Amino acid sequence: MIERAFLNVEASLTGRRWVGPADDDRRHAEAIHQETRLPLPLCQILATRGVTARDAQTYLAPALRDLLPDPASLRDMSRAAARFVQAVTRHERIAIFADYDVDGGSSAALLICWLRAMGRDATLYIPDRIDEGYGPNVPAMQGLAATHDLIICVDCGTLSHEPIEAAKGADVVVLDHHLGGETLPPALAVVNPNRQDEDGSLAHLCAASVVFLMLVEANRQLRAEGVQGPDLMAMLDLVALATVADVAPLIGVNRAFVRQGLRVMARRERAGLRALADVARMDQAPTTYALGFLLGPRVNAGGRIGQADLGARLLATADEAEAQALAARLDQLNTERREIETAVRAAALAQAEARGLDAPLVWAAGEGWHPGVVGIVAARLKEATNRPAVVIGLDGEIGKGSARSVNGVDLGAAVQRVAAEGLLLKGGGHKMAAGLTVARDHLDAAMERLAELLARQGADRQGPQELRLDGMLAPAAATVELIESLESAGPFGASSPSPRFAFADMAVQARRVGESHLRLSFGDGMGTRLEAIAFGAFDGPLGPALENPGHRRFHLAGRLELNSFGGRTRVQLRLDDAAEA
């Protein structure tokens, strides 16, 4: 039975169906409220996350010591940490081969900072996205093996059989989280919660979390020898950044990683993150939004369109001048990346529309599309169509692309299968994101086969995109105190979305701000009015509909936030959607 649309909104201004809390969740929220006396809107959040009244306080204050898994529960972890500690104590030559995104850069920085605290150093190697592509390659691994005793591959390597085989003379340890194949590469250790012989209980970890757990185990092994290892709690800012930027689900220990990591970041002790926050004009305490939309894209910019190792070097540096120079360069590259992305997105959307947006796979491929932005554009196509999306940049006879999925559709497994069948030159990833390389003459066949596999998972049966709401509020109920209580249920991100509330039957006043934003004031006629902001409103239907509302009234939906300006803190709604009342 399909539940009734919230406030009867079957198709909002943005074409979404509004869905409110289920009846069971509402009853559960009332029960939590009665037993704990916590604010009812907060209890609604807890109920939708399956939290009981008995567990509410523990959930609201997640402790890392209670949630941290035993690192040794992961296969090969003890062996990996022992080899790492051996290399450190024997002053062996260590190389770190990292992916070029935030997760890879954070993973590398964790190792570099740990080693620096132990008086050791390492060679950092990050492949060029265009010239070398993702993951270890034979020439790079051969070169590193010739001059190093231990190579640690972070956020990559699980499917790199031939490159790791080529690393003659060096031991290779893989610390990764991407979906593993039926066989593992010939490394000394492959630590990966998404190996096929793992139980999946830690599948939500990003690579930086796996690296952190390896360092926990390394410290434990050092303590057994009477040696004190570096302070790992001070490194949780890097784990938090990677977790949010890699869109890892904020469940289990990930919540504790991010919550504690944000506290560490707020101390502004890491030179690179401090410089990056300054160029991003962050004037408030860090949040998951800041990690995902202000810091993460800038760290990524070097790997996308510039020098691949800039982000990792920024995160690892202890030199103030170097940090400021790297942050400025990454900020500039991020601006250039946005311009490139805008052009590719327009072309990809036009092509996808011509092909059809209701298929199980939405895809586009273009000559010379920059490999550094195809992942972002794939995400935009996925958001616009509520379908898995692939965007590919063609160069000569080869195309390199990125794919993004929707909930309930395992894209990584499907891409890996198409690669195993020979229609892709390379392909792999995880449920929500994947990368692939395809020969131009196999492009259509590969996309057809991928669409077929995704259709079997129901990708073509996705209905209108839904906007899930946690309840309804009156403007007078939206107070600073309420927002502060809601924040205690955070951090918010993947699999733990920010609370969204509806405000029903509102009178709206609005004005355009800049090129595409909309600022609003709304109220229910009972005295209290709230401010709202809709970023990019004129890039879609919200701006034109709300700019001149006339006598029409609207249901509004969005996320409450605090806006501090001029010494005052006020409640503001970040508007996500609206519907005529």
Per residue in 168-227, pLDDT (tens digit) is: 999 999 999 999 989 999 999 999 999 999 999 999 999 999 999 999 999 999 999 999
Question: pLDDT band for position 463 (50/70/90)?
Answer: low
Q: Which residues contact 476 (CB under 8 A, 6 or more apart)?
A: 526, 527, 528
For 564-571, the CB contacts below 8 A with 24+ separation are: 564/284, 569/480, 570/480, 570/531, 571/478, 571/479, 571/480, 571/483, 571/530, 571/531
CB contact burial 202-238 (16+ within 10 A = b; e otherwise): bbbbbbbbbbbbbbbbbbbbbeeeeeebbebeebbbb
CB atoms closer than 10 angstroms to residue 252: 17
pLDDT band at 539 (very low <50, low <70, confident <90, very high): confident
Assess contact for 470 and 499: CB atoms under 8 A. Answer: yes
- 513 vs 466: CA distance, rounded Å: 28
Q: Which amino acid is at 442?
A: H
Q: DSSP label at 228? A: P
Main-chain dihedrals φ then ψ at residue 438, nearest 5 degrees? -140, 145
Residues 226-253: tens digit of each pLDDT: 999 999 999 999 999 999 999 899 999 9
- Residue ranges and CATH numbers for the domains of the chain are 67-331 (3.90.1640.30), 356-461 (3.10.310.30), 469-580 (2.40.50.460)
Strands in 150-154's sheet, in edge-to-edge order, are: 123-125, 94-98, 150-154, 171-175, 189-191
Instruction: With cut-offs at 50, 70 and 90, classify the pLDDT of residue 133.
Output: confident
Core vs surface per residue 145-157: b (16+ CB within 10 A) or e: beebbbbbbbbbb
* Closest among 418, 379, 424 to 399, alpha carbons compared: 424
In this structure, how many other beta carbons lie within 10 angstroms of the beta carbon of residue 361? 27
| Whole-prediction pTM | 0.90
Report the side by side order of strands in the sheet with 362-367. 362-367, 389-395, 398-404, 433-439, 426-429
Cβ 537 vs Cβ 552: under 8 Å: no
Q: Quick one: pLDDT at residue 1?
A: 53
Share of the chain above pLDDT 90, in %: 89
Lowest mean pLDDT among 408-422, 454-468, 514-528: 454-468
